[in-house]
Amino acid sequence: MISDSIKKGAERAPHRSLLKANGITDKQLEKPVIAVVNSFNEIVPGHTHLQQISRAVKDGILAAGGTPLEFNTIAVCDGIAMGHRGMNYSLCTRELIADSIECMLKAHSFDGAVFIPNCDKIVPAMLMAAVRLNLPSAFISGGPMLSVEDNCGNYLDLNSVFEAVGKLKAGMIGEKELKSIEDNACPSCGSCSGMFTANSMNCLTEAIGLALPGGGTIPAVYSQRIRLAKQTGEIIIKLVEDNICARDIINQKSVKNALYTDMALGCSTNTVLHLAALCYEADLPFNLEMVNEISAKTPNLCKLAPAGAHHVQDLHRAGGIQAVLKELDSAGLIDTSALTISGRLSERLQSVEYIGRNVIKSFKEPYSKTGGLAVLFGNIATEGAVVKRSAVDVKMYDVIGTARVFDCEEDAVLAIYGGKIKKGDVVVIRFEGPAGGPGMREMLLPTSAIAGMGLDRDVALITDGRFSGATRGAAIGHISPEAAAGGLIAYVKEGDKIHIDINHNVINLLVGVEEIQKRKAEGFKTPKKELSGYLKRYSNLVQSAGCGAIFKK
């Protein structure tokens, strides 16, 4: 066992002595030592209950004959960080979390690890750490938040609150209605209830095979999740005994399975960013053209919020991720020989049952014949841009709009709330990319403002930043190269025409070549930002969104 390096032989007596200071017995030292990597804190609603999950995991490890030792990582709530400078510190934590886990696991010679994430950057960070270290690994997330019905029969989620602010600004609702939505939209602990980034990544972790069935969809408050956590603790001991490591499960087969699932579910655009980074860590091929190839032959089977009225609790009730995988397998898209933490995927799918066709459509009668995401290319995005196609009104699939240019998110939001954005406009928010932001801020505030004010069928938004999974409408992010790197988005001027053609995966600035060359010769002005500490270091190290916003080697 790996842990023998800290517990075997006379020369390790000092190490054993220190471990015994924690109350660990000689008998415990004879067993596999398992890290329980927890992201609990009292700030993030998706993480406030993770102590209960970790207790269940440790119970499972103990029951199966292992010795669990727990440590924590940081976790930022994107919703609380949204719309101000706090969002600069969201994406950049992905690398911090992965690095800190590497340090802890390597320094203390663990035999395996159970990872307990839940929200946005924590899930991909832990996945990256798992493949980087290549230990026996298993995941159990905290699970999704519930969505409850309001007095009008609508099921609310966090996005309901963001959009309600836009409705208030437009005079469509009053302060009383906003307060009611605020009080009821987030009724329980858990990751926000739609197919937003956190739930997208948790569902894809299940599809990849590192989480047990139900890991992505069982609601946070269900006792079923506690039982699943105990089972995950038991599973990790078997993985250690069989020496099945993270890279035995995360490979080209399972990543493609995850991408097919991604397209069928209509996941967050952020999944492209995180899967690219995961493949980089795992030394697996990944490019944005592959996303379009898979999307072209994968129908969109689910319309979960923000694309539709269903939430993750509905997906769970309908059969969950395993039912989606089985439907994709019926069309020959899934490689069921892929290994999971509980055997081959083919074994998992044998017992899957569908519960109705209201939430998960059949392959023959999908919501659309193509997947939920699309990558656009053109002169303004030579390295790609990403849109959640399933959340865009078909009216906006092929439009030419007038550029309204802003060098930061805050200025754009003021213009939207101020009634300065009109039908037919394309809001351009730049210098918000990985390096230029820095941190590639999510733009849920401006997109929710557009939607809340009833403009989402008439106004597009493009940015070198990114979007929350809760974003809906013609919101095109990850424009690469970013403005700070001299991408063409830096040279867009107020009043320029921009052509967006989602049908053909194209986005272009409709300005002549000579004019573009003239503008480039004149150069562009970068907004002055005083950077210090980790943000300054991050800005210097991070690469393009087109390759996952990874660090330079």
Burial (CB count within 10 angstroms: exposed 0-12, middle 13-18, buried 19+), residue 525: exposed
For the chain, helix (H) and strand (E) counts, in that order, are 22, 14
Q: Where does residue 470 fall: left (phi above 0), alpha (psi -120 to 50 degrees), or beta otherwise?
A: alpha
The string of DSSP codes covering 35-77 is EEEE---SS-TTTTTHHHHHHHHHHHHHHTT-EEEEEE-----
Give dist(CA 209, CA 347) in Å, integer: 12
Q: 92 CB contacts (<8 Å, ≥6 apart)?
A: 438, 439, 534, 535, 538, 542
Give dist(CA 319, CA 459) in Å, integer: 36
Q: Catalytic: which of 3, 39, 254, 468?
A: 468
For residue 543, the tally of other CB atoms under 10 A from its CB is: 18
Q: Is 268 a catalytic residue?
A: no
Would you say 47 and 79 are in contact if contact means Cβ atoms under 8 Å apart?
A: no
Q: If we measure between CA atoms, which residue out of 496, 507, 266 comes closest to residue 392?
A: 266
Give dist(CA 329, CA 323) in Å, integer: 10
Structure tokens at 109: 């010679």
Question: SS in 3 state form for 346-369?
Answer: HHHHCCCCCCCCCCCCCCCCCCEC
Give dist(CA 40, CA 78) in Å, integer: 15
Q: Are strands 497-501 and 381-387 parallel, antiparallel or unpaired?
A: unpaired
- What length does the chain have? 553
Structure tokens at 509: 């600035």
Active site residues: 468
